[in-house]
C-alpha cells in the first residue's frame, strides 16, 4: 500500500459514517491537477544536472491551493499527492478559505552550494509559474526549505509577473512581508490542541509529562511551548538519536546546545535512549514531530502515552490507529494538530493582500482561538458519531467541502 492509498483509509471511514454523496466523494478522492517538471541546473563544476520537481493541487473547492515545497531525495509523486490531500483536509478543519497543494524536488540540498540551491529554486518557480499565484496556489516552506528559499521564490515570481508579489508565497522573512509568529506557529498549534485534550482529561499542565520525537522547527517549538505551559519535557530526539531525563529538559537550553553541536545527542545530564524507547515512554503526551510512518502496527502496542499529538504529517498508520484507539489513547490527528502552520500562513497572506501587519500578540491570539475552535469541532464530531479523532477530523473536513461543492453545483 502506498502512502496515498493509506491516507484514504480514514477518509473512507468518514465517508461511510456520514453517508457522503458518491459524487462529492469521487471529487475529493483525486487531485485536481498534478504537474511534473524537469529542472536543468548548471552546477558549479560546469556540468548540467536535471532535477525532477512536482506540484500537486488537490483542491480549489474552498479557495486557492495552499501548501509547502520540500527538498528531499525521497520526494515522490505519491508523496506530494498525499500531502496535498492532507492540506485540503487540514484547511477545511481549520476553517480556512484554501484548498490543498504540495510541491517538492527530488534533491539532497546538503549536496548543493548556495549558488546551486538558488539556481534550482528559481528554475523550479520558472517551471511551475503558470499554475501558481496568490489567487491560484500559494507555496510555503516545508522539509529542507526556509525563509531564504521562499525569498528567492518570491523574487523569481515577481520578475516573471513584473510586479512585487509578496502574497504569492508564505513563510517569508519579516522584511519582505513575512508574519510575526510564523516560525513557532506549527509547534504552537500542536501545543494548543494538546492542552485542550488535557483539559478534557482534567490534567493540569504542571502534572503532565511529554516526549517529543524530532527537534527540527516543529519539534523544537512544540517542546519549548509545552515547557512554557508548565509541561515537563522528559525526552527529545533528532535523526542522530534520543535523550531522556526524568527531571525534565529546558528545551531552550537544548536548542542552544543543538545550535553549537548539531544534535541533541550527548546533551549534558541526559541519558541516551533509542527512538523505540521514546515512542514507548510512559508520558502524558507523545508528540511525533519528525517523519511519517513512525507509529505502526508493529510498535503501537508499546505506546503508553495518554495523548498522541501529531506534529508530523502521517506519523501513525491506520493499523496503529486501531491499536491506539482500543488502548484508549487519544490521537490528535495531523490534520488538526499541526494546522497551526497553515493558519498563520493564512494570516501572512491576508496581511500581504492588505499591506497591513499585526503584532505577534495579535497573531498568537487569533491562532489560539482558531485552533481551539477546530479542536472543539473535531471533538464534538467524535462524540456525535462515536469515532476516533482522526475519523472525526475527516468528517468535519468532508462536511465543509461537501457543503461548498453543493452550493457551487459541483455534484
User: Could you list the active site residues?
Assistant: 102
Q: Are 330 and 197 in contact (CB under 8 A)?
A: yes
Q: Are 149 and 117 in contact (CB under 8 A)?
A: yes
Handedness of CA 320, 325, 330, 336 (dihedral sign): positive
- Output DSSP code: residue 373: H
The b/e string for 100-126 (b: 16+ C-beta within 10 A; e otherwise) is bbbbbbebebeebeeebbbbbbbbbbe
CB 41 within 8 A of CB 107: no
Per-position DSSP letters for 144-159, written without gaps between them: T--HHHHHHHHHHHHH
Q: Which residues contact 376 (CB under 8 A, 6 or more apart)?
A: 196
Give residues with Cβ within 8 angstroms of 328, minimum separation 6. none
Helix (H, G, I), strand (E, B) or coil at 245: strand
Residues 141, 83: Cα–Cα separation, whole Å? 13
Q: What does the alpha-carbon distance between residue 377 and residue 392 come to, in Å, rounded to a whole number? A: 9
CA 245 remoteness from chain centre: 28
Nearest-angstrom CA–CA distance, 298 and 57:
33
Amino acid at each position: 500500500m502506498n502512502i496515498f492509498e493509506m491516507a484514504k483509509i480514514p477518509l473512507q471511514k468518514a465517508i461511510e459514517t456520514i453517508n457522503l454523496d458518491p459524487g462529492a466523494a469521487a471529487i475529493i478522492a483525486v487531485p485536481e491537477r498534478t504537474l511534473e517538471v524537469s529542472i536543468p541546473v548548471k552546477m558549479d563544476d560546469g556540468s548540467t544536472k536535471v532535477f525532477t520537481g512536482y506540484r500537486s493541487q488537490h483542491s480549489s473547492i474552498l479557495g486557492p491551493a495552499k501548501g509547502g515545497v520540500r527538498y528531499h531525495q525521497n520526494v515522490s509523486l505519491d508523496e506530494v499527492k498525499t500531502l496535498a490531500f492532507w492540506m485540503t483536509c487540514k484547511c477545511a478543519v481549520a476553517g480556512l478559505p484554501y484548498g490543498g497543494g504540495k510541491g517538492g524536488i527530488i534533491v539532497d540540498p546538503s549536496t548543493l552550494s548556495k549558488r546551486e540551491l538558488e539556481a534550482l529554486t528559481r528554475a523550479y518557480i520558472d517551471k511551475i509559474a503558470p499554475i501558481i499565484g496568490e489567487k491560484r496556489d500559494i507555496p510555503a516552506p516545508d522539509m529542507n526549505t526556509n525563509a531564504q528559499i521562499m525569498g528567492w521564490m518570491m523574487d523569481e515570481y515577481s520578475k516573471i509577473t513584473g510586479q512585487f508579489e509578496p502574497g504569492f508565497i508564505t513563510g517569508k522573512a519579516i522584511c519582505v512581508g513575512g508574519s510575526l509568529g510564523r516560525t513557532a506557529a506549527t509547534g504552537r498549534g500542536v501545543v494548543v490542541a494538546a492542552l485542550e485534550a488535557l483539559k478534557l482529561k482534567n490534567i493540569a499542565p504542571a502534572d503532565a509529562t511529554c516526549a517529543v520525537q524530532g527537534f527540527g522547527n516543529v519539534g523544537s517549538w512544540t517542546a519549548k511551548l509545552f515547557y512554557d505551559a508548565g509541561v515537563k519535557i522528559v525526552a527529545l530526539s533528532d535523526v542522530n538519536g534520543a535523550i531522556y531525563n526524568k527531571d525534565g529538559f529546558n528545551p531552550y537550553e537544548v536548542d542552544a546546545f543543538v545550535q553549537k553541536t548539531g544534535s541533541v545527542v550527548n546533551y549534558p545530564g541526559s541519558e541516551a535512549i533509542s527512538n523505540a524507547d521514546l515512542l514507548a515512554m510512559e508520558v502524558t503526551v507523545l508528540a511525533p514531530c519528525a517523519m511519517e510512518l513512525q507509529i505502526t502496527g508493529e510498535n503501537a502496542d508499546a505506546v503508553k502515552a495518554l495523548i498522541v499529538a501529531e506534529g508530523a504529517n502521517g506519523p501513525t498508520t491506520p493499523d496503529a490507529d486501531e491499536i491506539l484507539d482500543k488502548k484508549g489513547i487519544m490521537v490528535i490527528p495531523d490534520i488538526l494538530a499541526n494546522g497551526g502552520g497553515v493558519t498563520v500562513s493564512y494570516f501572512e497572506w491576508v496581511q500581504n493582500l492588505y499591506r497591513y501587519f499585526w503584532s505577534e500578540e495579535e497573531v498568537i491570539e487569533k491562532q489560539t482561538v482558531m485552533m481551539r475552535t477546530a479542536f472543539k469541532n473535531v471533538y464534538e464530531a467524535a462524540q456525535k458519531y462515536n469515532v476516533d479523532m482522526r475519523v472525526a477530523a475527516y468528517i468535519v473536513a468532508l462536511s465543509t467541502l461537501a457543503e461548498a461543492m453543493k452550493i457551487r453545483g459541483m455534484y
